[in-house]
Structure 1
Amino acid sequence: MSNISRIKRICDANGISGFEDEVLTAIREEAPNLGTFTEDSMRNLYLAFANNKGGRPVIQLDAHTDEVGFMVKCIRDDGMLEFIPIGGWVNSNIPAHRVRVRNMDGHYVQGLVGSKPPHYMSEAERNAAPEITSMIIDIGSFSYAESVNTYKIGVAAPVVPEATCSYNEQSGLLWGKAFDCRLGCTSILDTLEALQKEELSVDLIAGFASQEEVGCRGAIITSRTIDADLAICFEGVPADDTFLPAYQRQTAVGKGPMLRHIDSKTIINPRFQRFALDVAKQCNIPVQEAVRSGGSTNASQIHIAQRGIPTIVIGIPVRYAHTHWGISSLSDVENAVKLGVAIIKALDAETIAGF
């Protein structure tokens, strides 16, 4: 079984795009013996596997450390915080949820996203889609001075959705925030742990990339830095089983990791994809195949980096992605790890050259 405490710790860490420090600390402390860590100026975290020998093909294991959230834009005279979104949100999902606002001392202050009650709305306001400009974050302050001097909130303070990861043994489901893509981060660590005693024909470097939710920016740098021959992206991907008819579902929770063929910015290398699907079949690992017209992952940057890097995406389905809460199946996490391990064990220089 996957390390539940690791999942909880890394998912609970606060880390919107550009402010992923807590996440990096958690990853480092969860993997003290897996290899050598380094960082760059964007706070991308690299982990060179301890069993690397050099002179072999290099596989990049990718996941991103950031989560969607908000940032304080300004502080009103009445102490309320105006904010902007960081990453993709549906506005109607934002109000009436608790958040954590980081103050100037680095501590997180409890807040609530407030909006005008329906009692005070005009008919036009009630019928209109909510705008973020009509919302505020209430931290319990009653003045600008109190927000700044007592709560120590400043402009550009990062704001994280309030949620705490839990695991239901009966259903096998995880509940929490930031499963996109902290479950990818934990999957990389689990994969490396499972490979510690294996004789491989490749070297492994993990790139825990920053700022994916605002344009896959960290992966631009990690792909250049690692300069891999092949890449596997572990990602928390939006599940489709709560709103599509059964025949259209390709990313259902509990049905195995999703291997996408295409999305809005990537056509997956068909030869590497076929190899991954064949490995899954040979090892009896359940997988789902998906054709996506929208969305993208770090694969969008990695597959066109350097001379072109064959890349696949192993997606862990997440219900209600890009909201305060997500639901995922532990079995999908475990099968994503099994698939990653099986693929890596089957790779060698000749096989990679065929992609």
Structure 2
Amino acid sequence: MDDLKARLRTLLSDLMLVPGLSGHEDRVRRHIAKVLDGMGLSSRTDRLGNLIATLEGEPGAPSVMLYAHTDQLGFVTRKIEANGLIRVERLGGVPEKALPAQAVRFCVGEGRDVTGIVANKSHHATPPEEKYKVTPYADLFIDIGADSAEAVRGLGIEIGTPVVYEPRVLHLNEDRVAGTSVDDRAGCAVVVEAARLLKDVSPRPTIHFVFAVLEEFNLRGAMVAAQQLQPDIAIQLDLALTADTPDMTQRGEVRLGAGPAMSLYSFHGRGTLNGTIPHPAITALVVRTAAEEDIPLQRTAHIGALTDNSYVQLVGQGVACVDLCFPSRYTHTALEVCDLRDLEQLTQLCVGAITRIAAPGFDLDRDRHT
């Protein structure tokens, strides 16, 4: 499986360097479509921008939608000051305390993007009462090195131009990757590699590999894909909050590098009153697969975050959903962290579980599992 880990490293690193603010994911979609095409897997794009590739399988088996979201959080240009400084509106759950002194990128177009920095008041001029104060994002400004609004617009920046953390990848020790948009380019990389492994498997269920848009903008893209595909089962790949740093120990038991995780309960509770309680037939399938494949399986249950499954589960007569996760630290910052060993094992878990869906005797009868 070393080849798998190496492919995941390369693909994840490439995807992390492609900017794709929610609602502006087209560059990411085109990159993934090219990778799929190189694997001999054709794909299509719906009107919202979801990328969908389908492998036909056993006609009697439940169909599966394996998916991750392509978009990332960031900002939208809100105001260009006369002196060339720029103010922005946030898009998604941006942590304000992690913003000052960060590098950002204005996504004007391929080869025309503009780098800027989020201003941070000079330390020498900061009075004591301000040193521990978090500045609201609306009061921050971004410096791109321009001296006038005309100069800013001359670079192609206008009201509405998308802004993301400056894309970067850092390799920490042997197996850990840090940088921008690990959430959820790591999930996208796993979906791609699962597709590579499943395309030659027989028997298998019909599998729809979906790279969804607009997750950071109230979870809108995957639901549209599910409405088209009407899957029986949806397996969503996203991060699990780790609890292995001093500030997170109360959050649970998930550790970085200890294997993939399965979410048993999620609920947002702030503005979006939604979440996911997974289908018992699918959680039983995942547990059995992990045991039989000797894959470590962590568990998570939390309030404060949610995934696309919270809406996908409501499509049609109901979709049997589960969130499978890779542990991640420092989420929604410019330097998120994941472990390639977790991604490798998450890929194996997905392939093993989906293969078993086509086996005789598998069904979605809740009463067999409760």
TM-score, scaled relative to structure 1? 0.93
Paired letter, 1:346: R
CA contact (8 A) 1:70 1:83 kept: yes
1:30 to 10, 32, 35: 35
CA contact (8 A) 1:115 1:134 kept: no
Q: CA RMSD in A?
A: 2.0
Alpha-carbon distance in structure 1 between the residues aligned to 2:139 and 2:28: 31
Deviation at 1:95, TM superposition (A): 0.9
Structure 2 partner of 1:223: 226
Alpha-carbon distance in structure 2 between the residues aligned to 1:69 and 1:163: 12
Alpha-carbon distance in structure 2 between the residues aligned to 1:245 and 1:98: 26
1:337 to 347, 354, 359: 347
Structure 1 partner of 2:73: 68
Structure 2 partner of 1:308: 318
Deviation at 1:113, TM superposition (A): 0.5
Instruction: Specify the SS of the correspondent of 1:312.
Output: strand
CA contact (8 A) 2:119 2:141 kept: yes
Confirm whether residue 164 of structure 1 aligns to residue 168 of structure 2: yes
Deviation at 1:354, TM superposition (A): 2.5
TM-score, scaled relative to structure 2? 0.89
Confirm whether residue 18 of structure 1 aligns to residue 28 of structure 2: no
Deviation at 1:122, TM superposition (A): 5.5
The more displaced of 172-181 and 124-133 is 124-133
The more displaced of 262-271 and 90-99 is 262-271
Instruction: Specify the SS of the correspondent of 2:296.
Output: coil
CA contact (8 A) 2:69 2:184 kept: yes
CA contact (8 A) 1:237 1:321 kept: no
Paired letter, 2:15: I
Alpha-carbon distance in structure 1 between the residues aligned to 2:133 and 2:12: 39
Instruction: Specify the SS of the correspondent of 1:292.
Output: strand
Gaps of 5+ in 1: none
Q: How does 1:143-158 map to 2 (within 5 A)?
A: 143-149=148-154, 151-158=155-162
Gaps of 5+ in 2: 268-274
How many percent identity over aligned positions? 25
Closer/same/farther in 2, CA of residues 292 and 54 from structure 1, 3 Å limit: same
Confirm whether residue 351 of structure 1 aligns to residue 362 of structure 2: yes
| Corresponding pairs, count | 352
Structure 1 partner of 2:147: 142
Deviation at 1:106, TM superposition (A): 6.5
Instruction: Specify the SS of the correspondent of 1:263.
Output: strand
Confirm whether residue 295 of structure 1 aligns to residue 329 of structure 2: no
After superposition, give the CA deviation of every residue in 1:204-225 in whole Å (9 maximum; x if it has no partner). Answer: 0112110101211101201101
The more displaced of 119-128 and 304-313 is 119-128
Deviation at 1:270, TM superposition (A): 2.5
The more displaced of 64-73 and 116-125 is 116-125
Deviation at 1:350, TM superposition (A): 4.4
After superposition, give the CA deviation of every residue in 1:183-238 in whole Å (9 maximum; x if it has no partner). Answer: 11110110111122211241001121101012111012011011001111111333
Structure 1 partner of 2:336: 326
Alpha-carbon distance in structure 1 between the residues aligned to 2:107 and 2:325: 30
Task: Point out 4+ residue stretches in structure 1 off by more than 6 angstroms.
Answer: none
Paired letter, 1:323: T
Structure 1 partner of 2:133: 128
